[in-house]
Amino acid sequence: MTDLVTNFAKATVSTTYDAAATAIVLTAGHAAKFPVAVAATNTTHFNVVWYNSTDYPDPSDDPNVEIVRVTNISSDTLTVVRAREGTAASTKSEAGKTYKMILAPTRKTILDLQIKEPSEYITTVMHGNTPHRDAGVAFTIGSFMKYGNIKKLTIRGSYTCGTLYSWAAYASNLTGITPALGSIAFYGKTGTVIINDYVGIDNEIMRVAGTTATYLTVTRGVKGTNKTYHEHAATITKMINGVRVHLYPNSFKKEVTKVLSLNNAFIYSGITSGSINVSGTVIRMTAAPRNLDSDDYILVQDTIPETAIVQKTFGSARGASDNTIFVKGTLALHVSAKNVQKVITYDIPTPYKGSSNTLYGHLYIDERLPAGTIGITLGITCDKFGSVALS
């Protein structure tokens, strides 16, 4: 959650305080220098630096400097949470010294800038209602070119990609696997494959229509790939490759004109087991979080959404035995169970400037899906105009 900011917000504290005080009175009229903080509205809270300005004109030199979080302002009285961002609560009571609070950039400020994923255009692509969709989903993105060059794509979804098991084998046909062949013999398999799973050989993806102990019946050349020839003993693998997104400048969708591709996007979506405490650093989920690694971005869905950076999850990134996500920095209060989604960002090496106001896209999810509809939300970031936070 990005804090409110304002320029030249420095206030003088009216008296001395011990390390436990949370109601801090400023010099008359000084609270007006800060943004308006309201206890019931998380997005109005902000951090300030509290320090001895008499001896230390530079707050970073004060050995007792402290960052506190302002959660409410009433007249010139600030309600604060002490010892934020790794600082320690300390007494501010040395005789003859002036203590000040300043709204200045802190570590949280920098993290907020890093984790906020701005987008000038957001669209949600609906995919599903069946366990498979061989052709993927076509969509368009429009009315963004006035914002300049496209620099970044973000993606998140209401689904966790990837299964906890896989399948692999070797194709068996001494004369090779021709494009017309719809039944493929195999040997040396490991794992399990069932109907509506997707398998890949080289660059071709196929959907499993039937299976025996030694044969797969398949629908060839799906998910935007072409039927092609494969050698005997080529490796067949079950597809658990997540989401692919392709963007094109026109409706012809020719490979040579492709603007960008995002491959192997392992999205994650989960539900918290209850509320998230104010200033908390732990999110407890109803099931083991998967596809999350350190420094990944997540979005907590709420009336006011909040972004955070993952510090760690217990266990492995794709199969944790614990249901906890630790985040860097602190979180706002989120009451009751909330949806948490991984946000994947893709920086475009060469910013793209098209010749029209529309991009034509295609989305594939390269695995067997649960029944029901999956929403994949895409954000486009451009290098002009302002920023609109992910919703």
Domain boundary among the residues 111, 127, 148 is at: 111
Quote the CA–CA distance of 205 and 187 in Å, as a whole number. 19
* Same domain as 121, residue 59: no
Quote the CA–CA distance of 172 and 17 in Å, as a whole number. 79
Quote the CA–CA distance of 120 and 383 in Å, as a whole number. 9
pLDDT of residue 166: 73
Binning the chain into helix, strand and coil, the percentages to the nearest 5 are 5, 45, 50
Radius of gyration (C-alpha) of the chain in whole angstroms: 27
Helix (H, G, I), strand (E, B) or coil at 30: helix
* Same domain as 281, residue 251: yes
pLDDT of residue 368: 83
pLDDT of residue 353: 62
* Same domain as 370, residue 259: yes
Number of domains in the chain: 3
* Same domain as 99, residue 156: no
Domain boundary among the residues 185, 212, 238 is at: 238
* Same domain as 356, residue 219: no
125 found inside a domain: yes
* Same domain as 297, residue 282: yes
pLDDT of residue 272: 94
Q: Which structural domain, as residue segments, surrounds residue 282?
A: 116-161+243-382
* Same domain as 135, residue 179: no
pLDDT of residue 200: 92
Domain boundary among the residues 178, 207, 238 is at: 238
DSSP string, 188-219: EEEE---TT-EEEETTEEEEEEEE-SSEEEEE
pLDDT along the chain (391 residues), means of 10: 81 96 97 92 88 96 95 95 88 95 84 54 75 82 60 86 76 92 92 89 93 93 93 90 86 82 88 86 88 90 84 60 81 89 83 68 86 84 48 28
